[in-house]
Structure 1
């Protein structure tokens, strides 16, 4: 019978692949995706589609928790302060990860320090819509002409001061030398309702929302903020064709709290990439005029750095600050 010494047993154990008990068991309970905006808007729609697609990949239920307020800052702060164990994910957007650091004077989180990037989800283009309150405005140039004829009289909605919907519209109006009155709402859904009801005249919003509002013809999409025309908004030309240098829309990405173990982050990245292949998820994103764009954590981190610099300059130029 062979004799096993303590040294030989230790040597044999050292030669075996290292196993991480936490990762081997992960996940062993439900996960949550925190969305920083109210139900009914694009962030909620995409978060729920991601949760549905992730559930079979991870073998555990994934639920969405809406924590609206402060331009997504309430949800971002809650996500940043969650346990870094891989069971809380954050659906960050360009507003929360790139704009808020420049526009909020007392931000309660740091998008670079407090989050571990996992993967980009997609870039979502915008449409510029005019509601039933202005039936005579049929196209982009007519909207600009109406604004020029009555400075500050026409109104435009957004889902918050210094949000992408606010800054995109400001860029368009400033690019053409006209003014409108900005009316901020707490999230996308009530802003859309105000457009439909005729309370507010215009809004720059995600293309999927614009398509929903324009189905009956009472609300019209006069332009898109995109590199090229969009299939879901036929007949709406890019704002670049009117001399407005703006093609950026809204991007969304998955993050975890900082200090989440690297092995868990790798597992989540792989799961998110797999989830984005699900036909149900692809269809939801397609309905918003976009396509899934999985990335590495490093690519997402680089995107965040570039966007913070770019949008910081826009905030400074427009003076769109929040106390």
Structure 2
């Protein structure tokens, strides 16, 4: 057997191909959920509940980053441009994924091209509330009669032009043939504050927010936009029993930036589905009049396509375009 010198051994080792560096197991850093709306509203509440439930499943902290503005579009643009490495998630809603692409001219993101769907979270029904500025109004027909008696003077709030809260009220008003003055706010929380302060007369908003507004009795929920009565808003009839054929609510879903590796997306779908079973998360969703609704990425993608078509018709009918 020939004798190999130390120099020969080193030379042979140097000629071997370099081994690929070991890839760190994902996730290897904290994650963030980007919310396109300010703290205090439903999107913030659900995002934080998801972050708290998802962290233990993934073994990494998950934080919420609020990037409010332009009906959620600023946050959506930021999330779409984030590195597709699994460290950034996006809490998309029907506004950002289906309405804004129809209503906002010059939108800086494409909901289908720029996001990878992970899972639906839930559908949240709406309630219609009348605030303390109209103490004499006790029911839905009273609200409609008051608006008809003073066209354009009865006001309603929303969290932005062409938002679900705006378009839901517009569809009710069109069905009843009345006019109200729309007063848009930057997000749900300041709109609710304006209702409580008597600065605005009415609003359509998620049922959990409607319930919180009505606790002191000064603000009344006169109807729910749902197919059945809601336990958290007892006594409020569904609008489809009041001559308005409408079911409108707010769905929320988890996305990642496009080009996120398939193996990470699969892990995220499984983790999100597990997180939605956490009792604390289930309770938060229940308090908003809903139940968790996990889905496959394919089911979420199909929902987005259907909703963009449906809300496009509503935007064109109401002329709710935003420059």
TM class by shorter chain equals over 0.9
Matching residue of 2:297: 297
Q: Deviations 1:207-248 (Å, cap 9, x if unpaired)? A: 000000000100000000011000000000000001111112
Which structure 2 segments of 5+ residues have no match?
A: 1-19
How far, CA to CA, are the matches of 2:283 and 2:227 in structure 1?
21
Matched length: 304
Matching residue of 1:166: 166
1:57 aligns with 2:57: yes
TM-score (norm 1): 0.93
Matching residue of 1:272: 272
Matching residue of 1:119: 119
Matching residue of 2:284: 284
* CA shift for structure 1 position 295: 0.1
Matching residue of 1:218: 218
Matching residue of 1:3: none
How far, CA to CA, are the matches of 2:88 and 2:22 in structure 1?
15
Secondary structure of 1:133's counterpart equals: coil
Q: Taking structure 1 as reference, are residues 29 and 314 closer, same or farther at Cα in structure 2, changes over 3 Å only?
A: same
Secondary structure of 1:74's counterpart equals: helix
Secondary structure of 2:169's counterpart equals: helix
TM-score (norm 2): 0.93
- Please give the residue correspondences for 1:152-301 in structure 2 after superposition, counting only pairs within 5 Å: 152-301=152-301
Contact 1:23 1:263 in 2 (8 A): no
- Please give the residue correspondences for 1:31-50 in structure 2 after superposition, counting only pairs within 5 Å: 31-50=31-50
Secondary structure of 1:136's counterpart equals: coil
1:138 aligns with 2:148: no
How far, CA to CA, are the matches of 2:189 and 2:172 in structure 1?
22
Matching residue of 2:12: none
* CA shift for structure 1 position 115: 0.2
Matching residue of 1:94: 94
How far, CA to CA, are the matches of 2:201 and 2:115 in structure 1?
37
* CA shift for structure 1 position 280: 0.3
Matching residue of 1:109: 109
How far, CA to CA, are the matches of 2:106 and 2:70 in structure 1?
11
How far, CA to CA, are the matches of 2:61 and 2:161 in structure 1?
35
RMSD: 1.2
Q: Taking structure 1 as reference, are residues 194 and 56 closer, same or farther at Cα in structure 2, changes over 3 Å only?
A: same
How far, CA to CA, are the matches of 1:24 and 1:107 in structure 2?
36
How far, CA to CA, are the matches of 2:127 and 2:99 in structure 1?
20
Q: Give every structure 1 segment of 4 or more consecutive aligned residues whose post-TM-superposition deviation is greater than 6 Å.
A: 20-24
* CA shift for structure 1 position 31: 0.1
* CA shift for structure 1 position 23: 7.8
Secondary structure of 2:194's counterpart equals: helix
- Higher mean displacement: 20-29 or 210-219: 20-29
How far, CA to CA, are the matches of 1:250 and 1:100 in structure 2?
14
